Structure 1
Amino acid sequence: MTDTDRSARSVSRRKVLAATGAVGALSLAGCTENTGNGDNERVIVTGSSTVFPISDTLAEAFMDENDGVNVTTDSTGTGGGFSNNFCPGNSDINGASRRIQDEEEQDCSEEGVEPVEFQIGADALTVAVHNDSPVDCLSYDELTQIWSQNGAETWADVNSEWPDEQIERFGPATTSGTFDWFNENVIGDAGSHVEQYENTENDNELIQGISTTQNAIGYFGYAYYRENEDDLKAVEIKESEDGECTEPSLDAASDGSYPLARPLFIYASAESLERDPVYDFVEFYIEQSSTDTITDVGYVPANEDQVESNLETLESTVN
């Protein structure tokens, strides 16, 4: 496909989006594997476990519409995806629950990979506890006490009205963008993230651990909480001791009232975008990012300005 063909097709699709609004919602999919015929052209997506449900759902929908293309998705963690797959040139797209870091950009550059950023929605990062926990709301300061190295050891250390029981922590691995975002935006300069905790890149394992451990606490993307909200309790968050407790929700993340709201991204390799299957999938991804598909997965959709900006970035990258 020529650059002229791509540009004309993109303009045509954007007119359709403007005229018809959101595209119909898609069903949540499992991990995508090889489907279609034996002549598939492959698109490889790695990265954030938070972004994974979006990428996986859209990969299934894209392959349903494009019989000759195989899109594979793998939940590797944001940092793990950049270091092990994307920057070495082993994947075309990397999902990210925080912006790419300077050292990651440098690593990519040294490998001849140019990352192209697209913000594709937002998340209400969720802190959760066991259903029987007395903890209903936490401030940033209390979160810092719980999650800092050499911080609180028992719940009573944080609040004397809470049980004098060991805090059982479940969280993302250090290769996770969720870990990086939480460490930077919640703990910040107050210390460093606790090292001794049950960590995994599998958010469903975090859910399992918290829901079956009496004095547990953990954090992860909102979509995973919404799928399991009967099994554990989401904690309301306030930025200061005298602030207002706000529960995680898509509306609160969208209007900015939820303190742990954060943007979500995909990064595509500029070289990979020269290949039609990758370009077409990223274009499809961007167009779907403002629809009810993203809401149904459990995240805040991109707004129309973001979609327009993303499409312009996509077109300018290959033209």
Structure 2
Amino acid sequence: MKKVLLIAILSFAVISCGNNKGQDNENGEAGSGTISIDGSSTVYPITEAVAEEFRAEQPDVDVTIGVSGTGGGFKKFGRGEINISDASRPIKESEAAIAKENNITYVELEVAYDGLAVVINPENDWATTFTVEELKKIWEPAAQGKIMKWNQINPAWPNEEIHLFGPGVASGTFDYFTEAIVGESGSSRGDFTASEDDNVLVQGVSGDKYGLGFFGLAYFEANQDKLALASVDGGNGPVKPSTETVKNGTYAPLSRPLYIYVNSSSLKDKQVIDFVNFYLDEAGALAKDVGYISMTKEEYAIQKEKFNKFVKENQ
């Protein structure tokens, strides 16, 4: 009888400890738990770099990162399914409305800068510079089924088919490119090879002499042995994207900030607050490591102040 009673007491103690641990996590008092992140494939490398460093310091925190594109991330974010959304463009009114319907408030934080690279095959020695007007002529909806050859853009270019590669329609990169080049976010021809996986786009252009594509500058820099970078003339002469030209805005109109969004309901979990503060502390150094352009220390300090104000207002 005493043995049974002892087992029962021990079992109760184990269950109680487990429940207390869960309660600590829920109240944000323990260094454990889960942080769920999803969204932009462009922002993914910097978020993953931050998460790797964070895991080393807090191994009991499980940081999971998905890559469903900026639009896909905002869908999950608006439904309250994730803590943080990686985004390569600001949230749209329609996406913000869904979040509002679900009583989700959030803060937008800038974490780095990026330029969109217009890439060609290394064997392409004719179209090394594009004007914005030429890019629009290639990518606008009216071009579908009509603008099919290089010499339709410039008579001096080859009488060969253009083979186009670009991010999927859920990608913030796609939204940003179409807004900057075509004039309307999401407005594009549909007859191109689309993928949320930038490696597919790299392989497509690098394996096709007549290929043309676009994606984040970091992916070009990681694959510059396979691709060539075209200059873009935004009206003040041709400019190639680089750390300097993206940061100072001369690479126009294809340079942009990158964001993370944090929802207020996540603030009950201390590990999320710790992670975001860690992110803003480390993003400058890690952005450079993964090919992005860091902001200044003062700019990161402003973002951190913005986040901490958001925390105070929502706790």
TM over 0.5: yes
Cα offsets for 1:182-213 (capped at 9, x unmatched):
11111106993111111010011110111011
Separation (CA, whole Å) in 2 of partners of 1:214 and 1:87: 42
Change (3 A) 1:190 1:89: closer
Displacement of 1:115: 2.1
Which of these residues, 264, 268, 278, is aligned with residue 270 of structure 1?
264
1:127 aligned partner: 118
Which residue among 60, 63, 73 is the counterpart of 1:81? 73
Counterpart of 1:70? Answer: 62
Q: Write out per-residue CA displacement over residues 79-114 of structure 1, whole angstroms, 9 at most, x where no aligned residue.
A: 01111x211111110111111111111011111211
Residue 301 in structure 1 maps to residue 303 in structure 2: no
Does 1:198 pair with 2:177?
A: no
Amino acid at match of 1:279: I
Of 79, 94, 97, 1:106 maps to 97
> How far apart are 1:41 and its partner, in Å?
0.8
Partner Cα distance (1:206, 1:62) in 2: 30
2:4 matched residue in structure 1: none
1:225 corresponds in structure 2 to 220
Contact 2:230 2:240 (C-alpha < 8 Å) held by counterparts? yes
CA distance in structure 1 between the aligned counterparts of 2:166 and 2:151, rounded to whole angstroms: 21
Q: Deviations over 1:216-255 (max 9, x none)?
A: 1111011110010010111111113xx3111111111111
Q: 1:159 aligns with which of 138, 154, 157?
A: 154
Q: What are the within-5 Å matches in structure 2 for residues 229-240 of structure 1?
A: 229-240=224-235
For the residues of structure 2 that align with 1:158 and 1:109, how far apart are their CA atoms? 45
Segments of structure 2 that go 5 or more residues without pairing to the other structure are 1-23
2:87 corresponds in structure 1 to 96
Q: Give the 3-state SS of the residue equivalent to 1:271 in structure 2.
A: helix
Change (3 A) 1:174 1:309: same
For the 8 Å contact 1:123–1:253, the answer to whether it is kept is yes
Say how many residue pairs are matched: 280
- How many Å apart are 1:297 and its aligned residue? 0.6
Residue from 31, 46, 51 that aligns with 1:54: 46
Contact kept in structure 2, 1:153 and 1:166, CA below 8 Å: yes
Distance 1:308 1:266 in 2: 15
* Counterparts in 2 of 1:149 and 1:285: CA distance versus 1, 3 Å: same
TM-score, scaled to structure 1: 0.84
How has the CA–CA distance of structure 1 residues 191 and 122 changed in structure 2, closer, same or farther, with 3 Å as cutoff?
closer
More helix by share: 2
1:105–1:115: 8 Å Cα contact kept in structure 2?
no
Aligned residue type for 1:233? A
Alpha-carbon distance in 1 for matches of 2:184, 2:156: 28
Would you say 1:184 and 2:175 are equivalent positions?
Answer: no
Which residue of 2 is the match for residue 287 of structure 1?
A: 281
Partner-residue secondary structure (3-state), 1:127: strand
Please, what is the CA RMSD of the aligned residues?
1.9
Secondary structure (helix, strand or coil) at the match of 1:150 reads helix
Q: Secondary structure at the match of 1:290?
A: helix
- Give the equivalent residue in structure 2 for 1:247: 240
SS of equivalent residue, structure 2 residue 118: strand
Distance in 2 between residues matched to 1:290 and 1:189, nearest whole Å: 31
- The CA deviation at 1:257 is 1.3
Which amino acid in structure 1 is aligned with residue 72 of structure 2? G
In structure 2, C-alpha distance between the alignment counterparts of 1:281 and 1:120, rounded to whole Å: 13
